Chains A and B, each alone.
Chain A
Amino acid sequence: MKHGYPEISWSSLQQLLFFNGGTELERVSVLEIRFPRIVLGCMAGAMLGLCGVLLQDGLRNSLAGPELLGVSSGASFMMALVTVLHVPVSYGMQPWFALLGGLIGGAVVILAAGGRNGGIHIILIGAAVTAIMNGLVVWVITMGSSNSASLLFTFLMGNLANRNWTHVGHLLPWALVTIPLSLSFARSLNVLRLGSETAEGLGLHFMRVRIYLLIVCCAMTAAVVSQCGPIGYIALIAPHLIRSLSQQYDAKFVLPFSAMLGAVLLTTADILARTMFMPREVPVGLWTTLIGGPVIIALFLRKLGGRPSE
């Protein structure tokens, strides 16, 4: 909150937050611009972090993430349609459209992958659906006016800039519902780790749990995408970092910590995005992708190096 223009000292920040102090410019930039941005980043990051754990453990595939399941791109596509075609929907309705798009993207992938043979099939089909959706987004952009296209472009980069309390208000109910729901999956995820047959033998309704998981993930991703655009790699990285730092795979542990790390990662990336090339801003989605990609490669290389037999 302190950094950026105008630079604000710790003491005046304190003044400002708790005693209504500071100049008007400082007050506005902190309370109306930076504070909501951080709150939004925390919520979105936590939701993405949870999403990663749910998908990776639920599909038992360490590469699973909303980006690869057609959910992100489905939601983006819907948002593109709404923006370019000037569909007259109120701002509050947009998450529902994104959700619809995300669910369609996710549903196509799940149905196409069909039944139990989860893992790799879902990822391959997800990649294909994502490619198609992204193609459609480009197509939609070419149809639109240059104004809405550039608007859409900044959106599709994944961005926390120019977000205010309204955005926070839109995301909050989603976060309040989906975050506790995600955490409640911990026990089931632990059982799922034992394999689908063992899990079913233990009384887990395998298909049903998997579908619930995917719906919750779709909802979280779509809500985040509708407010911040598709922010890559947080969902993929946060769980992996937590697991490799702690050597813990217990979902009761990984879920909450991934949420926290997701929040930290996203807000940190956003602060970097805001301040690194001041006064220009780099969209935070670009940052997470640019940093996230190499981190993932490093993580996997280390894992491969450490366990050649697996």
Chain B
Amino acid sequence: MKEDQSQKPLLEAQNIELRYNDKPILKELSMDILSGGVTALLGTNGSGKSTLLKTMARLLMPQKGCVYLDGHAIAKESPRSLARKMAILPQSPEVPMAITVRELVEQGRYPHVGPLRMLKKQDHAAIEEALEVTGMQAFEQRPLDSLSGGERQRAWIAMAIAQSTPVLMLDEPTTFLDVRHQLEILELVRRLNQERGTTIIVVLHDLNQAARYADRMVVLKDGRIVRDGTPDRVLTEAVLQEVFGIHATVLKDPVAGTPIFLPHSVVHREG
């Protein structure tokens, strides 16, 4: 630990190795997440970014290595107590039949109430707040399957917010949405981070959006972290060429000041 002692990592992956059907997905991977930032996990398809997110949320168990939350190994924690500390929203979760937005958001309180007890005052408060933050109050009685993609995604995020956890993980929350709804989700994520101090880890596909909304970009390739740092240091022409296989020009976003790239052509590899 060369860093300042006050900046102990909130979430820590140590030498994670994970194989699926003998195919290594994550190789000797280590990563620290400090409290309070927005971290974007990036990489090409099959690079292991979603797998890393799921491993950190304990949806997958690594064959080797360990994930620590606040210094405690998550493998040893009960699912319930873990779910009170971090929430994960899987990629495009299935939509159950005839469930309303409010009923969905209520499920976020599952780790907080006993198996028989009813929802209490603070549960209802958390549900109201989650609906309000996501702007879903007007939709609360609507069935989930009657909503548009963007509204539905906001409902799912509201459920994760109702879980009231200091850490929120999102797996490709913008996939399949049109650009306006993509920005809506990303702005919501940013706001959660700034206003409530939620530590956010999000898997994204769009590098420009990641550069715009994340404090830190972590780029994976073949199960390893190949770049890790601020958007200015990660979104470079060299990275785009080596990791993503495209020739591109990187500019400065005239409004946000973050790096932005314009793709030109695919890199053709010889041999």
Interfacial chain A residues near B54, Cβ < 8 Å? 197
- Rounded to whole Å, the gap between the CB of A232 and the closest CB of chain B is 25
Whether A193 sits at the interface, judged by CB under 8 Å, is: yes
Interfacial chain B residues near A203, Cβ < 8 Å? 78-84, 110-111
Whether B107 sits at the interface, judged by CB under 8 Å, is: yes
Q: Given the complex of chains A and B, what is the CA–CA distance between A140 and B37 in angstroms?
A: 68
Known contacts A184-B116, A188-B115: does B96 contact A201 (CB below 8 Å)? Answer: no
- Rounded to whole Å, the gap between the CB of B75 and the closest CB of chain A is 13
Residue numbers of B with Cβ under 8 A of A are 54, 57-59, 78-84, 87-90, 93-94, 96-99, 103-104, 107-108, 110-111, 113, 115-116, 163
Output the residue of B59, B84, B89 with the most chain A CB within 10 A: B59
Supply 15 further A-B pairs (C-beta < 8 A) apart from A203-B79, A203-B110, A249-B96: A184-B116, A187-B110, A191-B107, A194-B107, A195-B94, A197-B90, A198-B93, A200-B79, A202-B110, A203-B78, A203-B83, A203-B84, A249-B97, A249-B98, A249-B99
- Rounded to whole Å, the gap between the CB of A240 and the closest CB of chain B is 12
Interfacial chain A residues near B84, Cβ < 8 Å? 203
Q: Given the complex of chains A and B, what is the CA–CA distance between A201 and B85 in angstroms?
A: 10
Q: Given the complex of chains A and B, what is the CA–CA distance between A250 and B96 in angstroms?
A: 10
Interfacial chain A residues near B115, Cβ < 8 Å? 184, 187-188
Q: Given the complex of chains A and B, what is the CA–CA distance between A250 and B89 in angstroms?
A: 21
CB pair B79–A204 under 8 Å, yes or no, is: yes
Picked from A184, A191, A247, A248, the residue with its CB within 8 Å of the CB of B110 is: A191
Picked from B83, B94, B116, the residue with its CB within 8 Å of the CB of A202 is: B83
User: How many pairs, one residue from A and one from B, have CB atoms within 8 Å of each other in the complex?
Assistant: 67
| Cβ contacts A to B, 11 pairs, < 8 Å | A187-B115, A190-B103, A197-B90, A198-B90, A201-B59, A201-B89, A201-B90, A202-B111, A203-B79, A203-B83, A249-B96
Q: Given the complex of chains A and B, what is the CA–CA distance between A187 and B104 in angstroms?
A: 12
Whether A3 sits at the interface, judged by CB under 8 Å, is: no
Q: Which 4 pairs from chain A and chain B are nearest by CB?
A: A203-B83, A203-B111, A193-B96, A201-B88
Q: Given the complex of chains A and B, what is the CA–CA distance between A194 and B103 in angstroms?
A: 11
Whether A205 sits at the interface, judged by CB under 8 Å, is: yes
CB pair B90–A195 under 8 Å, yes or no, is: yes
Interfacial chain B residues near A187, Cβ < 8 Å? 110, 113, 115
Residues A223-254 near B (CB distance < 8 A): 247-250
Interfacial chain A residues near B107, Cβ < 8 Å? 190-191, 194, 202
Q: How large is the interface on A (under 10, 10 to 19, 20 to 34, 35 or more residues)?
A: 20 to 34
> Closest A-chain residue to B82, C-beta based?
A203
Q: Given the complex of chains A and B, what is the CA–CA distance between A188 and B80 in angstroms?
A: 12
Picked from A194, A195, A205, the residue with its CB within 8 Å of the CB of B79 is: A205
Consensus secondary structure, chain A interface = loop
Residues A247-269 near B (CB distance < 8 A): 247-250
Q: Given the complex of chains A and B, what is the CA–CA distance between A194 and B98 in angstroms?
A: 12
Q: Given the complex of chains A and B, what is the CA–CA distance between A194 and B116 in angstroms?
A: 19
Known contacts A188-B115, A194-B107: does B87 contact A201 (CB below 8 Å)? Answer: yes
Q: Given the complex of chains A and B, what is the CA–CA distance between A193 and B83 in angstroms?
A: 17
Consensus secondary structure, chain B interface = loop
CB pair A204–B99 under 8 Å, yes or no, is: no
- Rounded to whole Å, the gap between the CB of B24 and the closest CB of chain A is 21
Picked from B59, B80, B81, B99, the residue with its CB within 8 Å of the CB of A193 is: B99
CB pair B96–A194 under 8 Å, yes or no, is: yes
CB pair B111–A194 under 8 Å, yes or no, is: no
> Closest A-chain residue to B112, C-beta based?
A203
CB pair B98–A247 under 8 Å, yes or no, is: yes
Output the residue of B81, B82, B104, B107 with the most chain A CB within 10 A: B107
> Closest B-chain residue to A250, C-beta based?
B103
Q: Given the complex of chains A and B, what is the CA–CA distance between A202 and B79 in angstroms?
A: 8
> Closest A-chain residue to B103, C-beta based?
A250
Interfacial chain A residues near B90, Cβ < 8 Å? 195, 197-198, 201
Interfacial chain A residues near B99, Cβ < 8 Å? 193, 249-250
Output the residue of A197, A201, A249 with the most chain B CB within 10 A: A201
Residues A178-218 near B (CB distance < 8 A): 184, 187-188, 190-191, 193-195, 197-198, 200-205
Output the residue of B78, B79, B83, B94 with the most chain A CB within 10 A: B79
Q: Given the complex of chains A and B, what is the CA–CA distance between A250 and B100 in angstroms?
A: 10
Output the residue of A190, A198, A247 with the most chain B CB within 10 A: A198
CB pair A202–B163 under 8 Å, yes or no, is: yes
> Closest A-chain residue to B81, C-beta based?
A203
Q: Given the complex of chains A and B, what is the CA–CA distance between A197 and B89 in angstroms?
A: 9
Per-residue 0/1 for A148-192: is the Cβ within 8 Å of any B Cβ (1 yes, 0 no)? 000000000000000000000000000000000000100110110
Q: Given the complex of chains A and B, what is the CA–CA distance between A97 and B71 in angstroms?
A: 49
Q: Given the complex of chains A and B, what is the CA–CA distance between A250 and B99 in angstroms?
A: 8
Q: Given the complex of chains A and B, what is the CA–CA distance between A191 and B79 in angstroms?
A: 13
Q: Given the complex of chains A and B, what is the CA–CA distance between A190 and B82 in angstroms?
A: 19
Known contacts A193-B96, A194-B94: does B59 contact A200 (CB below 8 Å)? Answer: yes
Interfacial chain A residues near B104, Cβ < 8 Å? 194
Q: Given the complex of chains A and B, what is the CA–CA distance between A197 and B79 in angstroms?
A: 12
Per-residue 0/1 for A294-309: is the Cβ within 8 Å of any B Cβ (1 yes, 0 no)? 0000000000000000
Q: Given the complex of chains A and B, what is the CA–CA distance between A217 and B113 in angstroms?
A: 25
